[in-house]
Structure 1
Amino acid sequence: MDSITLSPVGLFLQAGPVGKTVMILLLGASVWCWILIIEAVAVLARLGRTLRAGAAGGLIGEIDDAGRDAARLAIPGETVGERRHRVAEAMHRTARARLAQAEGGLPNLAVIASVAPFVGLFGTVWGIMTSFVGIAATKDTSLATVAPGIAEALAATAYGLVAAIPASIGYSRLGAGFARRAERIGHIVDARAILIAAGLAGRPDPEDRR
Structure 2
Amino acid sequence: MFFQTRLPRRLSLGLAAVLLAAAAPAAAQDLAASGVAAPAMDMSFLSLFLQAHIVVKLVMIGLILASIWVWAIIIDKTVLFGRNRREMDRFEQVFWSGQSLEDLYRSLAGRSNHGMAAIFVAAMREWKRTYEGGARSFAGLNQRLDKVMNVTIAREMDRLESKLLVLATVGSAGPFIGLFGTVWGIMSSFQSIAASKNTSLAVVAPGIAEALFATAMGLIAAIPATIFYNKFVSQAGRQAQRLEGFADEFSAILSRQIDEQE
Matches within 5 A, 1:73-112: 73=130, 79=139, 83-112=141-170
- Tell me the residue number matched to 1:121: 179
Amino acid at match of 1:83: L
| CA deviation string 1:49-70 (max 9, x = no partner) | 1110125653222211221233
TM norm structure 2: 0.68
What does residue 77 of structure 2 align with?
Answer: 40
Cα shift at 1:2 = 7.5
2:198 counterpart SS class: coil
**Structure possessing the higher relative contact order (Cα contacts under 8 Å, 6 or more residues apart):** 1
1:64 equivalenced with 2:120 (yes/no): yes
Looking at structure 2, the residues matched to 144 and 97 of structure 1 have their Cα atoms a distance apart, in angstroms, of: 59
Tell me how far apart the structure 2 counterparts of residues 115 and 177 of structure 1 sit (CA, whole Å). Answer: 23
- The answer as to 2:191 corresponding to 1:133 is yes
Partner amino acid, structure 2, of 1:27 = I
AA aligned to 1:63 is: I
Please, which runs of 5 or more residues in structure 1 have no aligned partner? 201-210
**Cα distance in 2, alignment partners of residues 179 and 3 from structure 1:** 52
Q: Residue 188 of structure 1 aligns with which residue?
A: 246
- Matched AA of 1:93: V
How far apart are residue 29 of structure 1 and its match?
A: 0.5
What is the CA distance between 1:89 and its match in structure 2?
Answer: 2.5
By how many angstroms is 1:76 displaced? 7.0
Structure 2: gaps spanning 5 or more residues:
1-38, 96-103
Render the CA deviation track for 1:108-143: whole Å, top value 9, x for unaligned: 111111121111111011001101111111122222
Q: Which amino acid aligns with 1:43?
A: L
Distance 2:143 2:82 in 1: 31
Distance (Å, rounded) in 2 between the aligned partners of 1:184 and 1:2: 62
SS in 1 for 2:249: helix
Q: 1:24 aligns with which of 58, 61, 65?
A: 61
Q: Let me know the Cα RMSD of the aligned residues.
A: 2.4
Residue pair 2:88, 2:117 contacting (<8 A) in 1 also: no
**CA gap 1:3/1:184 in 2 versus in 1, 3 angstroms:** farther
Do the aligned residues in 2 keep the contact of 1:12 with 1:20 (CA within 8 Å)?
yes
Q: CA deviation at 1:39?
A: 0.3
Cα 1:76–1:115 shift into 2, 3 Å: farther
- What secondary structure sits across from 2:199 in the alignment? coil
Range moving further from structure 2, 151-160 or 92-101: 92-101
Answer with 98-107 or 64-73: which moved more.
64-73
Q: Which moved more, 1:8-17 or 1:113-122?
A: 8-17
- CA distance in 1 between counterparts of 2:167 and 2:40 reads 35
Supply the AA of the counterpart residue of 2:64.
L
**Secondary structure in 2 matching 1:93:** helix
187 and 152 in structure 1: CA distance in 2 versus 1, 3 angstrom threshold: same
Identity of aligned residues (%): 40
Give per-residue Cα distances to partners, 1:145-174, cap 9 Å, x unaligned: 111111111000000000000000010011
Residue-pair matches, total:
197
Give the Cα–Cα distance (whole angstroms) in 1 for the partners of residues 249 and 66 of structure 2: 42
Amino acid at match of 1:143: L
